[in-house]
Amino acid sequence: MDPEFFEMLAMPLFDQLYNLAHWLTGDRTDAEDLVQETYAKALRGFKSFEEGTNMRAWMFKILRNTFMTSRTGLKVQNTVPMEDEFDRVDLATHNITPESLLLQLENSQSVMNALSELPVPYREMILLSDMEELSYKEIAEVLAVPIGTVMSRLSRGRKMLRQALLADSSGRSTHAV
CATH class of residue range 1-79: mainly alpha
SS3 content of the chain, % helix, strand, coil (to 5): 75, 0, 25
pLDDT at residue number 41: 93
pLDDT tens-digit map of 73-100: 545 544 444 444 444 444 444 455 665 5
pLDDT tens-digit map of 50-67: 888 889 989 999 998 898
pLDDT tens-digit map of 98-133: 655 555 444 466 777 888 889 989 998 998 998 888
Average confidence (pLDDT) over 15-41: 91
Domain(s) of CATH 1.10.10.10: residues in the chain: 84-177
pLDDT at residue number 53: 84
pLDDT at residue number 100: 53
Averaged confidence pLDDT in the chain: 79
Domain(s) of CATH 1.10.1740.10: residues in the chain: 1-79
What CATH fold (topology level) applies to the domain 84-177?
Answer: Arc Repressor Mutant, subunit A (1.10.10)
Which pTM value belongs to this model? 0.62
